[in-house]
Amino acid sequence: MEILAQITTHSTEETEHFARTFAAQLHGGETLLLQGPLGAGKTHFVKGLAVGLGISDVVTSPTFALHNEYVGRLALNHFDFYRVDSAEEVEMLGLHELFCLPNAVSAIEWSDNVAELLPRNCTQVRIDVLGDLVRRITVQR
C-alpha cells in the first residue's frame, strides 16, 4: 500500500481539521476504511470530512443504526459495523450497495466485519493512539 498522507494530531480539533482538508480532494465514489481501536477518533475524523464536504448536519456515530447519510457537496455515507456479526447482515440490508456511489463518499468504521463486501481500491485511514489526545493518522491506498 502506498502512503498518501501521515500526520500526528494532538486534539480532536486537529483530527477534524485534517479530515476537513482531506475532504477537499474527494470527488465521489471513494470508500474510506476507518481503522483504529475504540476511542481512537474515527467519528471525529468523519465529523471533519462532513464539514469539508459542506455538510452542516450534526454527525454522530451510527453504532446502533449501522448507517447515517448526510448531504453536502457530495453525500456522505457513514457506516459503523462494530455490532455486525456477519457480512450477510449488511448484504441483506443492501447497505453494501451504497459503498461506491459516484456522487458520494463512504466512510466505514469496523470494515473488517464486512471485508468480503468491500469494493476494490478502498482508501485506508488508520488512526493509531499515541497518547491521551495524540493520534497518528495514516492514509494509504
Give per-residue pLDDT as tens, 99-136.
Answer: 989 999 999 999 999 999 999 899 999 999 999 999 99
Instruction: State the average pLDDT over residues 42-46.
Output: 96
State phi, psi for 113 to the nearest 5 degrees: -75, -10
Residue 43 has pLDDT above 90, yes or no: yes
Q: Which amino acid is at 63?
A: T
In the chain, what are the domain boundaries?
3-140
Residue 65 has pLDDT above 90, yes or no: no
* pLDDT given for residue 108 in this prediction: 96
* pLDDT given for residue 69 in this prediction: 96
Residue range 11-22, pLDDT digits in tens = 999 999 999 999
Residue 85 has pLDDT above 90, yes or no: no
Regarding the domain delimited by 3-140, which CATH topology (the fold level of the hierarchy) does it fall under?
Answer: Rossmann fold (3.40.50)
Spatial neighbors of 132 by CB under 8 A, at least 6 apart, are none
Q: Is the pTM for the entire model greater than 0.75?
A: yes
* pLDDT given for residue 44 in this prediction: 96
Residue 62 has pLDDT above 90, yes or no: no
Cβ neighbourhood burial of 50 (10 Å; 0-12, 13-18, 19+): buried
